[in-house]
Amino acid sequence: MSYAQRLIPYLENIETILKIVLLIVIAYIALQVVGVISQQPPTHESVSAVMKILSDSTPYVILTVTAILAVSLLGEFLERLARKLNEKIIGLVTVYDGKLTLSEIASKLNLKESELEGIISIISTREKYNIKIDKDTKIVSVAPIEPSFGIYGTKSDKLKKLEALYKEGKIPEKTYEVLKQKYSEEE
């Protein structure tokens, strides 16, 4: 797995922690202000005290907000890097489908084989591609994931679609027989 892909979850956690810190800072400021304002009746000194609290705490708020923005931007940058790497891998595997080994692709991308395997597993779970690595030869191949199909319509429509899918080799004979029986019994 690439460094960018490893860092993304940590950055999300850091961003959450910084947001919590910001809330704590704001709550602390609010409590101080409420403490000053609750003194009856409000005086010129109490207004000055509130202004001092706000001016003293402004750098902390600005620093925390800046840190949240920086972590967020870094996370977006790393996600773009990871997405570009995924696209490069998909492109290489697609162009050289069944011709390159895992080590050849890893060397083209300056990655370790173990990192490439990790990225391939991520691609296979998140993207619309099924990348396979032959256990014996380590040759890498790819196929787009086919969307699942449904057969809808009247009884005759279902039987026609089922027949077409079977003739095209998209469903096995046993599945064809079971579904044909099921659709034939429908009213």
Residue-wise pLDDT for 7-43, tens only, equals 777 777 888 888 888 888 888 888 888 887 777 677 7
What predicted TM-score, i.e. pTM, was given to this entire model? 0.55
Q: Are 82 and 9 in contact (CB under 8 A)?
A: no
Share of the chain above pLDDT 90, in %: 1
Q: Is the dihedral of CA 145, 79, 115, 106 positive or negative?
A: positive
pLDDT tens digits, residue range 46-80? Answer: 788 888 888 888 888 898 889 988 888 888 888 88
Looking at residue 2, what is its pLDDT?
Answer: 59
- The stretch 142-152 carries a mean pLDDT of 61
Q: Among candidates 180, 185, 187, 174, which has minimal Cα distance to 158?
A: 180
Distance separating alpha carbons of residues 106 and 89, to the nearest angstrom: 9
Neighbouring C-beta atoms of residue 100, cutoff 10 Å:
19
Give me the architecture of the 3-144 domain, per CATH: Orthogonal Bundle (1.10)
User: Measuring CA to CA, how many Å separate 117 from each of 107, 130, 180?
Assistant: 13, 13, 41
Structure tokens at 178: 């079971």
Looking at residue 127, what is its pLDDT?
Answer: 63
Dihedral angle of Cα 89, 95, 96, 98, to the nearest 10 degrees = 90
Looking at per-residue pLDDT, the higher value among 129 and 145 belongs to 129
